[in-house]
Every structure is written in structure tokens, then in C-alpha cells.
Amino acid sequence: MNDASTANKNLMQGATGPWEIVIGLEVHAQVNSKSKLFSGSSTAFGAEPNSHVSLVDAAMPGMLPVINEECVAQAIRTGLGLKAQINNRSIFDRKNYFYPDLPQGYQISQYKYPIVGEGVIEIDAEGESMTVGIERLHLEQDAGKSIHDQHPDYSYVDLNRSGVALMEIVSKPDMRSAKQAQAYVTKLRTILRYLETCDGDMEKGNLRADVNVSVRKPGDKLGTRCEIKNVNSIRFIGQAIEVEARRQIGIIEDGGKIDQETRLFDPAKGETRAMRSKEEAHDYRYFPDPDLLPLEFTQGYVDGLKAHLPELPDEKKARFIKDFGLSAYDASVLVAEKANADYFEIVAKDRDGKIAANWVINELFGRLNKEGKDIEHSPVSAAQLGGIVGLISSNAISGKIAKDLFEIVWTEGGDPADIVEKRGMKQVTDTGAIEKAVNEIIKANPEKVEQAKLKPSMLGWFVGQVMKQTGGKAAPAAVSDMLKAKLGIE
Amino acid sequence: MQVDAATVRRIARLARIKVTDEEAKGLEKELSGILDWVRQLDEVDTSGVEPMVRVVAQQMKQRADVVNDGEIADAVVANAPLTEDHFFVVPKVVE
């Protein structure tokens, strides 16, 4: 998977020579569902403390979990999107540990028999394509939330998140650089958002990653790894990996040894540090949850879900390249967010795909970025931008007038074709009208005409004059051709 | 099977149960006895036998994805020794 040429580029230089970084990721993705994994309380974010909590979520004695069928379906859809093996029989286990925001004293998770097995994700990192293996995906409960800064002596516990369904998606240790790890999480997030199985909102903690990092001399066996917990942005994932790899290389080169441990990344200090509870060697004492039977479903059920999967980013990218003649780069930019791809398709439908891509990526995205707006709140709708692109493709307006038109539609709204008609913005392609303007300019400037015969670069000045005369509406190519003929310039 | 003092301590710690040295001695014997008794099951050859998870053949019940529970914060925190604005308030735990 990592041949010598790609591997070499990613090596990190130490005092004793180059080192290879080995990275694997465990991503926790909150399942899109209305209610929790094993109870009927709401999963909505930002509610009053302990309001979205049932007696099941609070782990009151005698309460029993009943699984949410939609969470199961979402995990299967995600597995299919990762081209993974779907296990028609899986088992829920109890993972035992004590923490105030875990009222059961155990998390219901899956251990030996997860719902989804091995799969793959194709990523592009620094211009190179590679495949990252997926080890497994399993369903589990989220914990509640502890707040430590409200009181000097007490922690405050809110169980609203307790019992919300998570998918833990574990990669194989296939990544060799921070960039590759970032590309992996970005791509995984895109796939989840296409499938609508997780909203991927990292700010709300709906997608977070535990990053496993180890280092070795190229060709050596795997080094001891450290796990950096709960990194919650793609930028921080990159920083945490760089910083942790440096730390490990430093220790080994000074003759030390890496302890396998769990660490936290502190973005403010730019360092990772060991979590204090490390002396509690984790012993989760997993055992099958006696409250839950095995999770079983038929292949027919899986096939039914598969039949309704949306088009995924890789397929969409291939189709954009084939059907619209886009470059691989433009296609990647457009499919990264489904909303952008959908917008583009409306703009490009029955029109010139390359012009459409250019206007969506450069003019629209540029303007949206500048004004901090997202595509759902774009003042220019896809239908409107499509109208503009149509006017350009049919040569009704020039590229320059199109930018003015975009500005008008952005600020005032309206139908582009109407605006062009009413404000007389149409490009003049009528050779008679252009010829009239050309003749007038030539007649009014005899001395420049003489100069131009000696100095062909004068042509630009004439084109400018004709454009001015026609209010920018003459087709520049037609003007240029006619001037060349009349002035005798090659 | 002999359970030693260290193992008793470890189990007690994982279960957050406070055990005195006196009690630990007794527990060593007790736990060893229980394990010996259970170990009789090893005499049965279970190779190739699926673990039994249910007596009656039935599928796990599933529920539809609807919100029909919760919104009972008063009841949820009713038995807590200390609360504030419907938060559980517990001795400080900081990582």
C-alpha cells in the first residue's frame, strides 16, 4: 500500500536519521437518529440539563434497553458506504468502567462481534491516491457530559448525551503522515454526510477522533503506540500527530523507551501529555450484555438498504468527469460537500459543464467565502447562476458583462435573462453594428491608424475604444478580428 | 484455582469496593472456592457447540425511531444527594 516512493516522502528527520510515522484512527461518529440507541428520549443538541433523559438513560434499577431499528440501519448503510463486510449477526457487550457521567457503570458496546467488518476508503493526500483499510465499525452508547468549571469542589453532570448512538469506525494502521490522516478523516466525514448517517459536525463533538501514533525506523517492526484521545478538529489531528511523533522520536533517540499510554493534545500549548488516570491500567472486563439478544437481520434487509443508498462521492466525482468533462481537481472540489455538488448539477444541467464548474468554484465559492455565507444561504440560486452560465454559453453576454450580471443578481436578485434584456446588456454579435462602431473609431483617429500599421500592439487600444463605444457589449473576438482586417494587422 | 491477595485487591479496586486486609483474607478463600466449583463445567466437552444465548428461539425486539420518553428532569434527579438546575452535582473529577 505504501510503496517506497510514497513512504520516503513522508519520513520525519530525526538526529539519527529518518523515521516513519505509523497512524491509525478510531473515529466516533454520532448516528443521525431522532431517539437514542436504547431508549425513546431525544438526541437533539443543546437542551436543558437532563431533559432528554429517560429512566433507561439514567440507569435506574430494572430499566431495560430496547434497540432503535434506525440506528441499526444507519450502521449498515455506513458499512455499505465503506464497502465493508456486513455481519448479519453481532453481539452487544458491556464495557465496564466507573465515571460520574456513565450512570450504568458500563457502556453498551460491541467487542468481539461488531456489526460491520473490514472495508476501505480511497483518499487523495498531497496529489496521491491511496487506500486506507477499515478494520471494523461497531455501535455503542455515548456517555453523558461532565462540566468541571462551574464550582471549585464539584463537577456537574448532564446525561442528555447519555445513550445517544455512536458508530466507532476503526481504521487499519495504514497512514504514514499527518496529511494522510487528515485526508482520511475529511473523506470519511464526506461519506457520512452523503449517507446522512452522521452530520459530521466536529464543533458539536458529533465527530471526534482518537489518534494512534507510533514511530519506527523504515523497515523495522511496529513501535509502541500512544493513543491521543478526543481530537475534535481536522487541523488539530494534523498538529497532534506531528507533535506526538516528534516527542516519541526525541525519547527514543535519547535512549529512552515509549510507554504505551493514553494522552491528550493541548492545542494552546502545542503538546500532548499523559492522562492522569494511566495507573488505572484499563481492564474493561467485557462480557455479553445479558439484557440484549444477538442483533440479527437477513441479507434481504441489507440488500433493501443498499438499493436506496445515495450516489457516493467517488461515484459522483467519476460521473462529473465523464458527463461534464471536468478536471479531476474541479470534480473533487465540487463533490467534497453534497450541497455543493447538488448546486453544481442544477447549474450545469443541459449547459456547458466546464463554464458551470468555473463559475461555481471561482465566482460563487469565492464570493460566499468572502462574505462568510454557506451555499444554503447563497443569494444567487443555482437556477439563477445556471441562467447566467446559459447566457455566457450562448454568447448572449461576454465574460466581463457576466461578472456585472452576477453582481446584480447577487445584490438585487431577479431573472438573469430579464435583467440582460431590460438593461440592454446583450453582447452585440451583429457584425453590422460592430462594423459601424469600428468604422467610426478608425475615422476619428487617422494618426493612430498609421501608428498601428507599424506597431501591431496598438490593436489593444482600438479594441478598447470599440468596446467603450458599444458599452462593453460587443463580442471582443469579433471586434478584434474586424479591426485586424481593417487595419491590415496580421 | 488459587486467588491470591493481589488479585482480590485488583478486583475490589475495579469494582470500587473497599476491602480491609482482614476481609481480603477471607475473600481469597471464598473466591477460590467459587472458581473451583464453577470449574466443574470444564469437564463437559463443548468443542463445536455454539454458546446458548436464549432458551426460546426469538429475535431481539426493536423499536421505531420515535421520541416518546424523557422530559422528566425532575424525576431523573429526584433521588440525587446534590443537584443544581437539574444537573447532578458530584465530587470534583478532573482529568
Does residue B52 lie in a domain region?
A: no
Give the C-alpha separation, A413 to A364, whole Å: 14
Query: Has residue A446 got a pLDDT over 90?
Result: no
DSSP conformation letters of A223-260 = ---EEEEEE-SHHHHHHHHHHHHHHHHHHHHTT--PPP
Nearest to B60 among A275, A285, A293 (CB): A293
Q: Which residues of B touch A39 (CB under 8 A)?
A: 69-70
> How far are the Cα atoms of A120, A372, B2 from residue A379, in angstroms, in the given order?
38, 12, 75
Q: Cα Rg for chain A, rounded, in angstroms?
A: 30
Find out whether A86 and A76 touch, Cβ atoms under 8 Å: yes
> What pairs with residue A95 in β-bridges?
A107
Kindly report the length of chain A: 490
Does position B70 have pLDDT exceeding 60, yes or no? yes
User: Looking at A70-84, A229-243, A452-466, B21-35, which range is the least confident one?
Assistant: A452-466
> Residue B25 sits in which domain range?
5-43
**What CATH number did the domain enclosing B22 receive?**
1.10.20.60
Please report the pLDDT score of residue B54 as a whole number. Answer: 84
* Helices A234-253 and A178-195: angle between axes, nearest 10 degrees: 150
Q: What count of other Cβ atoms lies within 10 Å of the Cβ of residue A236? A: 20
Considering chain B, what is the average pLDDT of its residues?
Answer: 92
How many structural domains comprise chain B? 1
* Residue (of A194, A73, A202, A195) closest to A139 by Cα position: A73
Element (H, E) at A149: none
Residues of A in Cβ contact (< 8 Å) with B89: 151, 154-157
**Mean per-residue pLDDT for A452-460?**
84
Q: Report pLDDT for A280.
A: 55
How crowded is residue A152: how many other Cβ atoms within 10 Å of its Cβ? 7
User: By three-state DSSP, how is residue A182 classified?
Assistant: helix
Residue B84 lies in a domain: no
Shortest distance between the Cα of B25 and any Cα of chain A, in A, equals 23
Identify from A39, A42, A50, A60 which residue to disrupt to test chain B contact, counting B C-beta atoms within 10 A and taking the largest count. A50
Choose the closest CB to A69 out of B16, B64, B94: B64
Predicted local confidence at residue A408, as pLDDT: 94
Q: List chain A domain ranges.
A: 4-305, 313-422, 431-487
The Cα–Cα gap between A387 and A409 comes to 11
Judged by CB atoms closer than 8 Å, whether chains meet at B70 and A40 is answered as yes
| SS3 label, residue A31 | coil
B92 lies in some domain: no
Q: Does B62 sit within 8 Å of A72, measured CB to CB?
A: yes
CA distances from A409 to A166, A380, A419 (A): 43, 6, 9
CB contact under 8 A, B76 and A58: yes
**Amino acid A413: pLDDT:** 93
Contact A99 B91 (CB under 8 A): no
- The CATH code that applies to domain A431-487 is 1.10.10.410
% of residues, chain B, pLDDT over 90: 74
Name, in order, each residue with C-beta under 8 angstroms of B48's C-beta and a sequence gap of 6 or more: none
Contact assessment for residue A20 and residue A217, using Cβ atoms and an 8 Å cutoff: yes
